[in-house]
Amino acid sequence: MVSATVGRGAVLGAVALSLLALPARATATEPDARAAVPRVALPAPDTAGLAAALRSAVDRGAPGALARIDDQGRTYEATRGVADLSTGRAISADDRFRVGSVTKTFSAIVLLQLADEQRLALDAPVNRYLPKLLPDDRITVRQVLSHRSGLYDYTDDLFADSVSGFEAVRNKVFTYRQLVALSLKKPRTNEPGAAYSYSNTNFVVAGMLIEKLTGHSVRTEYEDRIFRPLHLRDTFYVHPETGIPGRYARGYLTPDRAGDPLVDATEQTVSWAQSAGAIISSARDLDTFYSALLGGRLLSTARLEEMEHFTRVGTTTSYGLGLRRRDLPCGVSVYGHTGVVQGYSTYAFASKDGARSLTAMADTSDNGKVADALGRALDAAFCGKAGKAAKG
C-alpha cells in the first residue's frame, strides 16, 4: 500500500509506505571540501522491495519491522507488524529503539574529532593515554577503532547462552575496567595490527579514551558533539538507566531453544556494551546522522578519509574506523554500520556522498533469518528495481 501519509492504525500483517517532501535537517557544521565528492545518480528506491524485505523479516520471526529512506528531501517509510506483543500496537517508523553497534560509529567520530583537535594521535599506543590498561604497548588507537588490536571479545563468553547470559547482566552495571578485565582473561586473537577480529572490547577502550581525554562522560561528549548539533531529538545515551524515553518499539530476544517464547528484553542497562552499543535512536535520526557524516559535516575531510580507509573483512563487507562499507549486488557501495543488541537488529547506511540514507530495524535479535531479510532493505533502497535483477 502506498499513500501520502504514514499509516498509524495498521494491524499485524499490514504495510504502510509513504513518500513525503521534508525540509533539510540542520547539521553540525557547514560542508567542507567533502562537497566535491561526485554525486552518483542512484535509481529510485524500490518501495515494493522495501515492503517485501520487512514482510519477510516478520514472516521469519520478528514481531515488527520498520524502515525509512531519506533521499534529498524525499522520505520513504515502511512498517510491518507490531511494536508491542502484549498490546498489539502497530510499529511506527517514528518509534525509538536500541541501535546496538551502530553506537561504534558515534564513538569513533568523537575520537576522530579529538584527533583533529590534536588531543589524540591515532597511531599512538592506547597505553600512552591509559597507562598499563593493556598488556601490549604496541596496540594503537587506530587498531582499536579498526578491530585490529587482537583484544578478545568478552561478549562471546557472556552470551554463550543468549537468554541466560542476558538475564545475568540485564540489570548489572559494569565499569569499563571490569569489561576490559573480562577480555584480558583470554588470549588475544592475533598480534596487534595483524588481522581484523571484531571485538566489543575495542570500543569499550574507545569509551575509556573519550572520558580520559575530555574529562567528561561519553554521554556528554555524544550530546555536545553529535546529538545537539545535528538536532537528533530521538537519540539518547541513558546508561545505566534501563528504559527507553518516549515512544518506542519493545525488543524481543529469540530464545535458545526452538519453540520457547520470545523474551522481552526492552528494559536493560546495556552496561555490558556502553560505548560499544548502548545508544537509543530512531530511523529518522540515524538517517540524519549518517547523511551528515558522509556529507562531511562531522569530520574534516582528512579524518573522514581515514575513517573510510577500509579493509576487506567478508565477501561484501569492509571495515574502516568504526564504519562499515557494504558492496551491494548492483555495484553500489554504502557506508554505515549494523547493530544487534538484545531485542533489536538494525541496518543504518548511506550513499558515499550522504545524499541517500536508509535505516531498517526489526524488533528481535539472535535470528539470522530475520537479519538476512532485513539486509535486503539495502538493495531496495540503493539499487532500486535493479537490486531484484542482480539477485536473479
pTM: 0.92
| pLDDT digits 0-9 by tens, 137-179 | 999 999 999 999 999 999 999 999 999 999 999 999 999 999 9
Compute the average pLDDT of residues 72-99: 98
Classify the C-alpha dihedral 47-386-324-24 as positive or negative: negative
How many Å apart are CA 64 and CA 10, to the nearest integer?
Answer: 11
> Considering the chain, what percentage of its residues have pLDDT values greater than 90?
87
- Tell which phi-psi region holds residue 91, choosing left (phi > 0), alpha (psi between -120 and 50) or beta: beta
| Cβ atoms 7, 70 nearer than 8 A | no
More confident residue, 280 or 17: 280
**Residue of 294, 198, 202, 280 whose CA lies nearest to 243:** 280
pLDDT for 340 equals 98
What is the C-alpha to C-alpha distance for residues 244 and 93, in angstroms, rounded to an integer?
A: 16
Q: Is the peptide bond before 63 cis (omega within 30 degrees of 0)?
A: no
Tell me if residue 271 is catalytic: no
Distances (CA, A) of 243 to 96, 166, 280, 302, 342: 11, 16, 10, 38, 14
Which residues are bridge partners to 140 per DSSP?
125
The CA R_g of the chain, rounded to the nearest whole Å, is: 20
Least Cα distance to 381 among 72, 99, 49, 55 occurs for 49
Residue 327 — very low, low, confident or very high, per pLDDT cuts 50/70/90? very high
Asked if pLDDT for residue 17 goes beyond 60, the answer is no
| Cβ pair 117, 210 in contact under 8 A | no
- Residue spans of beta strands (DSSP E) within the chain: 2-3, 15-21, 64-71, 74-81, 96-98, 252-253, 263-264, 280-282, 311-312, 317-319, 324-327, 333-341, 344-350, 356-362, 364-365
Q: Provide mean pLDDT across the span 318-329.
A: 98
- Give the model confidence (pLDDT) of 182-191 as tens digits: 999 999 999 9
List, for residues 226-262, the tens digit of each pLDDT value.
999 999 999 999 999 999 999 999 999 999 998 999 9
Higher pLDDT, 92 or 5: 92
Does the pLDDT value for residue 319 go beyond 70? yes
Cα–Cα dist 305/359, whole Å: 23
Residue 10 in this model has a pLDDT that exceeds 70: no
pLDDT level of residue 95 (50, 70, 90 thresholds): very high
Higher pLDDT, 31 or 209: 209
Overall average pLDDT of the 263-268 stretch:
98
Mean pLDDT value across residues 125-139: 98
Residue 41 pLDDT: 87
* Buried b / exposed e along 45-78 (16+ C-beta atoms within 10 A): bbbebbbbbbbbbbebbbbbbbbbbbbeeebbbb
Q: Is the pLDDT of residue 333 over 80?
A: yes
On the question of pLDDT at 6 being above 60, the answer is: no
Annotated catalytic residue, options 101, 149, 162, 271: 101
**Average of pLDDT values for 130-137?**
97
Residue found by looking up cell 550513499 in the block: 351
Q: Quick check: 205 pLDDT over 80?
A: yes
pLDDT band at 23 (very low <50, low <70, confident <90, very high): very low
Closest CA to 64 of 374, 375, 378, 381: 374
pLDDT in tens, 334-350: 999 999 999 999 999 99
Over residues 380-388, mean pLDDT:
87
Confidence of residue 386 (pLDDT cuts 50, 70, 90): confident
What pLDDT does residue 38 have? 62
| Mean pLDDT value across the chain | 91
Q: Which residues pair with 337 in a beta bridge?
A: 348
Look at residue 3 and tell me whether its pLDDT is greater than 50: no
